[in-house]
Amino acid sequence: MPLVYRIDALDNIFYVNDAWMVWARQNDGDSVMPDYVLGRKLWACMGDPTVLQIYQRMVAQARAGKPVQFNYRCDSPAHRRVFAMSIHSTDGIEVEFASALVHEEVRPVVALLQPGRKRDQRMLRICSWCQRVAVSVDRWLPVEEAAQVLHLMEADSLPCITHGMCERCAETMLKTLEGDSSV
Ligand SMILES: [Zn+2]
């Protein structure tokens, strides 16, 4: 069962399906509960300008009658997961986002991704599409490697995580969207 949410003409989230709610409860806790999410602007949960720009273009393209599809990673501390996202609009106004799990594998727990761990003031950027972590300005590594390079395995406090988009994923997505002259 795919995880589904929908936005209205004003880009407010007005619907999430049961599968989405169950998933949110298991994975993210209170900050994504329906009470908190419903009625909010989709853009309110996107702090990164590149992610915001790409999502806005995808929504415009879906409303123009051209569905957008892409794969992305959405890991848990103990699982690598690939989801297929499909964004489409049936009436040119409301837009539906549907994510289906296409691959999942177990891995040793990655402390950096565990909620409830002690955090300090450092900020680490993680790519919302491929889940690689920026270990320096233009170097992105898989989260397990990043934890080693940054000596996070033995640290007693961990950096905070902020979601962004790596250059490689931004380029790929922009190319996909640029192929469509209507956006
Ligand atoms: Zn990426």
Distance 130 CA to ligand 1 centre (A): 4
Q: What is the pLDDT of residues 101-113, one digit of tens each?
A: 999 999 999 999 9
Above pLDDT 90, what percent of the chain? 71
Listed residue (80, 37, 42, 81) closest to 58, CA to CA = 42
Closest to 134 (Cα-Cα) out of 114, 111, 161: 161
CA atoms of 4 and 100, how far apart (whole Å): 9
Q: What residue type is assigned to position 38 of the chain?
A: L
Per-residue model confidence as pLDDT tens digits over 133-165:
999 988 999 999 999 999 887 778 899 999 999
Structure tokens belonging to residue 107: 């891995």
Q: CA 74 to CA 140: how far, in whole Å?
A: 16
pTM (two decimals)? 0.88
Kindly give the distance from the C-alpha atom of residue 35 to the centroid of ligand 1, in angstroms, as a whole number: 30
- Least confident stretch, 7-16, 76-85, 110-119: 110-119
141 CA distance to ligand 1 centroid (A)? 9
* CATH superfamily entry for domain 3-178: PAS domain (3.30.450.20)
Separation of 136 CA from ligand 1 center, angstroms?
14
122-133: pLDDT as tens digits: 999 999 999 999
Give me the pLDDT at residue 176, please.
Answer: 85
Helix orientation angle between 167-178 and 49-63, rounded to the nearest 10 degrees: 20
Single out the residue of 55, 49, 53 nearest to residue 5, CA to CA: 55
Residue 14 CA, ligand 1 centroid: distance in Å? 29
